[in-house]
Amino acid sequence: MAKISEARAKANKKWDEKNKARKLYINKRSTCKNFILNLATEEDLENIKKYIIEREQELKSTH
């Protein structure tokens, strides 16, 4: 992996501190995707499908 400059590291840290909620969202989304694509069993995938349906219904009812 290429080293990043000191200025880039400082800018990254500043962005991370200013955007904690966004960073957390991105990290959790990535974790979810990696779990689904690399580790999930058939049973896990069936449960995830149910969770998606529940969440879609929840989101539709709030609009």
Give the pLDDT of residue 1.
73
- With 90 as the cut, is the pLDDT of residue 63 above it? no
Q: Identify the residue with better confidence: 2 or 16.
A: 16
Give the pLDDT of residue 2.
81
Cβ-contact 62, 55 below 8 angstroms: no
Taking only Cα atoms into account, the Rg of the chain, rounded to an integer number of angstroms, comes to: 17
Using one digit for the tens of pLDDT, what is the confidence trace for 5-52?
999 999 999 999 999 999 999 999 999 999 999 999 999 999 999 999
30 vs 20: CA distance, rounded Å:
15
Q: pLDDT band for 55, please (50, 70, 90 cuts).
A: very high
